[in-house]
Chain A
């Protein structure tokens, strides 16, 4: 097995093998890599829809970090990620543990919990608007049973983001649950039998056998959800329009406002690059920490 033979493969030269990945590569380059670099290029220019002209150096970035609405949106985004990602991982795992059986009930419940994931954001926010709407909403009705008055969640500065987070968790819980279920089913049954013979109780089995066995999936879920939830847009836009007082305006909504409603494309591009960097750093940190722990 010389390295030369491995490189060319059994069927001849490299370029023929390359043909197989060419279609993917084409779309990867045109739809992902090219816009990425174009975005970087744009962020160093003063650009609007009619002209993408003058080079302005870091000017866009300076403007960006002097804009308190942008800083607020960064804070909002982090707050939202903090509210949703751990909750999605933990609730997803709990559901998976509870529903990891072949009983009829578990099967039905699994489909039920997953079903919200297939709805579009429009439907999801519509449903939760009905929950939150003052006086007639589900929340108000429940409060009413106890003779209390429900807060106007989406208009309350302290509660609006929590409302959006709740909506998002309800919408997104299916995927983490399914990933955890798949991971649980991969664990060989005999190590649970060995654990039973080793006198491990329910809790000890969970901590020492089950959780370590699905650690990779846990990291995967965290990374997927960090990447997804940093891009919050639809729920905020449809539920609160970023209000009250920009307190639920995430970075993507800020970019949308700047680039497509105020047509300051250069500034919007700069904000996009910041978001991209944030997601990359967050996901990589998560990955590296888990790698380090695994090597121990």
Chain B
């Protein structure tokens, strides 16, 4: 009832446009994997190749060790939930859910049982005799999930299933999907461009960009130790601060990184010396102190109050902009002179190709 999915050296082109290039990925059974990346980076294409809706040009995909490239979509043991839900408009909810089972000659008794179970689990029992046109967006979404659940697939494929829901419903459905995964224990692949969905749902996130995989890792891995500058910039709100590196030197206490007037010393990977061109640090690792204190002085450009915290957009003397975290109740004002303190051991360095260098992990 669950699948290990192994994607080996897969490439895909549409005419002259290469969408995926030599991509390999192993998804263990039971795992909840999220494909995360900007729009148009090929997430859906990869998902649809697993489903059998797109052909595999080069490479092969294995499910539980069996190559599946030659199998039609229905025979791969996977179920898909589409972004648009793709419910059959002329069938009732019950018929929508039963259709796939009727086609493989499951007895009507078993079908009725499974539909009833799924309906109870998803709380759509009272909708079974309605047609999709008579349902709200959230209800349709549940029916689409129910249609996948009754098939008892080895793997669930979700293509941005939450993007058509309003914010409140999206947050609720996110939690329910996590619960569904815990209950069913099936492998789940979830495609999204929303890093918040990825962070909250995934066991592992596969960050994709520009035809290839940028990084595979747990949400905290991706967040704390981004493998590339792209990942560092794509994951996390507000976006990570990036400052141009002007000088690098090895010191007894670590690597000294200078960005103009700013100097940060931290135990960075020594390989960064001579290569890093960019320093990255998240807003939460930059704090506001009184003018004249901290690592560097700045002027407040914009103050974003988010309630639980405030984001201070500050401008350095050389014109570069830095976002810093501040308490929700801050008394700071736009135009005020402040000092910024950088938590150097939370910073990252990137070379010209975007490859990241992190602070060496503490040996314990």
Looking at chain A's contact residues, the main secondary structure is: helix
Q: Which of A163-197 contact B (CB under 8 A)?
A: 188, 190-191, 193-197
Contact B86 A198 (CB under 8 A): no
Looking at chain B's contact residues, the main secondary structure is: loop
Task: Enumerate chain A interface residues (CB-CB to B < 8 A).
Answer: 188, 190-191, 193-201, 204, 208-209, 212-213, 215
Contact B74 A198 (CB under 8 A): yes
User: B25 on the interface (CB 8 Å rule)?
Assistant: no
- 7 A-B pairs within 8 Å (CB atoms) are namely A193-B53, A195-B99, A199-B103, A200-B99, A208-B88, A208-B99, A212-B90
A190, B160: Cα distance in complex, Å: 14
Contact B100 A199 (CB under 8 A): yes
Q: Given A197-B80, A199-B74, are A204 and B86 also a contact pair (CB < 8 Å)?
A: no
Give the total of B residues in contact with A, Cβ under 8 Å: 23
A208, B90: Cα distance in complex, Å: 9
Tell me how many residue pairs across A and B have CB atoms closer than 8 Å: 60
Among A190, A191, A204, point to the contact of B103 (Cβ < 8 A).
A204
Task: Apart from A191-B86, A193-B80, list 10 A-B contacts with CB within 8 A.
Answer: A195-B88, A196-B52, A196-B72, A197-B52, A197-B78, A197-B100, A198-B100, A198-B103, A199-B104, A204-B103
| Residues of B with C-beta under 8 A to A190 | 82, 84, 86
| Residues of A with C-beta under 8 A to B162 | none
| Residues of A with C-beta under 8 A to B78 | 197
| Residues of A with C-beta under 8 A to B104 | 199
Question: What's the nearest-Cβ distance from chain B to residue A102, in Å?
Answer: 14
Q: Which of B48-74 contact A (CB under 8 A)?
A: 51-53, 72-74
| Residues of B with C-beta under 8 A to A195 | 88, 99
| Residues of B with C-beta under 8 A to A188 | 84, 86
User: B328 on the interface (CB 8 Å rule)?
Assistant: no
User: B89 on the interface (CB 8 Å rule)?
Assistant: yes
Question: What's the nearest-Cβ distance from chain A to residue B294, in Å?
Answer: 54
Contact A199 B75 (CB under 8 A): yes
Task: Enumerate chain B interface residues (CB-CB to A < 8 A).
Answer: 51-53, 72-75, 78-80, 82, 84, 86-91, 99-100, 103-104, 147
A194, B80: Cα distance in complex, Å: 8
Question: What's the nearest-Cβ distance from chain B to residue A201, in Å?
Answer: 8
Q: Considering the complex, give the chain B residue whose CB is closest to the CB of A194.
A: B86
Closest 6 CB pairs of A and B: A199-B74, A198-B100, A190-B86, A199-B103, A212-B90, A194-B86
Contact A194 B88 (CB under 8 A): yes
A268, B216: Cα distance in complex, Å: 84
| Residues of B with C-beta under 8 A to A198 | 74, 99-100, 103
